[in-house]
């Protein structure tokens, strides 16, 4: 049961001083937990975010975070405020990705952008693995195990793919926002160099 103080704020417990309704608070928590809030998967929290967007955006600014919303594909996430006016502290914990994780992320992004305009982009696991095969060092058993582990992280940790049948997955549109264009160009060039070196047997370390 919700209470209200004399000013009309939605108190959820006796000493509550919060200014957001319960669903909006849960939406903020979902966004902060990361990696993003999906409107398709959490429609109630998405509706609360849309209703209280201005207040939530202000709350996140207090934490030096900006709210990024894609109203078409219905997802939202936070990132560090980008400005040259002040030195902005880091408030989000960053995750370090392994080589194969980043390579797989780039492949998923390429596949998503190649089908621009499609409502849902579904790919087979083998299709993704085939594009990454250039990075194999010849130990196929270990390489396949590493690919399977990366696929699992894409699905369960980063949540950039979702199950869509046996060994198939839907690519989340959030993939296109995880790396900016400069990062994509730099990573693509470096991975191309590594891939070409691996294919020719050269030492590219």
Q: What is the pLDDT of residue 8?
A: 56
Q: What is the C-alpha separation between 76 and 39, in angstroms, rounded?
A: 8
Distances (CA, A) of 6 to 3, 9, 104, 128: 10, 8, 53, 57
Let me know whether 76 and 157 are in one domain: no
Domain co-membership, 195 together with 112: yes
Is the residue at 159 inside a domain?
A: yes
- The number of domains in the chain is 2
pLDDT at 3: 52
- What is the Cα–Cα distance from 67 to 30, expressed in whole angstroms? 13
Do residue 74 and residue 105 come from a single domain? no
Does 58 lie in the same domain as 107?
A: no
- What's the whole-number mean pLDDT along residues 15-36? 91
pLDDT of residue 1: 46
Give residue-wise pLDDT tens across range 51-103: 999 999 999 999 999 999 989 888 899 988 888 899 988 766 666 778 899 88
Query: What pLDDT shows up at residue 195?
Result: 64
* Span 177-184, average pLDDT: 70
Q: What is the pTM of this model?
A: 0.64
Q: Is 176 left (phi over 0), alpha (psi -120 to 50) or beta?
A: alpha
d(CA 40, CA 152): 21
Band the pLDDT of 165: cuts 50, 70, 90.
Answer: confident
* 119 plus 194 within the same structural domain: yes
Paired tokens of 44: 């109630």
Is 92 within a domain? no
What residues make up the domain containing 57?
Answer: 3-80
Is there a single domain that holds both residue 67 and residue 26? yes
């Amino acid at each position: 049961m919700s209470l209200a103080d004399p000013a009309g704020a939605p108190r959820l417990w006796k000493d509550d001083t919060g200014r957001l309704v319960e669903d909006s608070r849960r939406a903020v928590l979902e966004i902060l937990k990361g990696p993003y809030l999906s409107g398709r998967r959490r429609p109630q929290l998405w509706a609360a975010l849309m209703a209280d967007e201005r207040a939530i955006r202000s709350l996140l600014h207090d934490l030096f975070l900006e709210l990024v919303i894609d109203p078409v594909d219905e997802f939202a996430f936070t990132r560090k405020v980008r400005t040259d006016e002040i030195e902005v502290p880091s408030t989000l914990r960053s995750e370090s990705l392994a080589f194969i994780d980043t390579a797989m992320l780039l492949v998923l992004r390429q596949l998503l952008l190649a089908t621009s305009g499609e409502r849902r982009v579904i790919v087979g696991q083998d299709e993704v693995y085939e594009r990454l095969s250039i990075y194999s060092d010849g130990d196929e058993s270990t390489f396949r195990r590493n690919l399977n582990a990366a696929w699992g992280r894409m699905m369960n940790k980063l949540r950039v793919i979702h199950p869509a049948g046996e060994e198939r997955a839907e690519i989340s549109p959030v993939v296109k926002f995880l790396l900016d264009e400069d990062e994509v160009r730099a990573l693509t060039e470096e991975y191309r160099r590594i891939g070409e070196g691996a294919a020719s047997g050269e030492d590219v370390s």
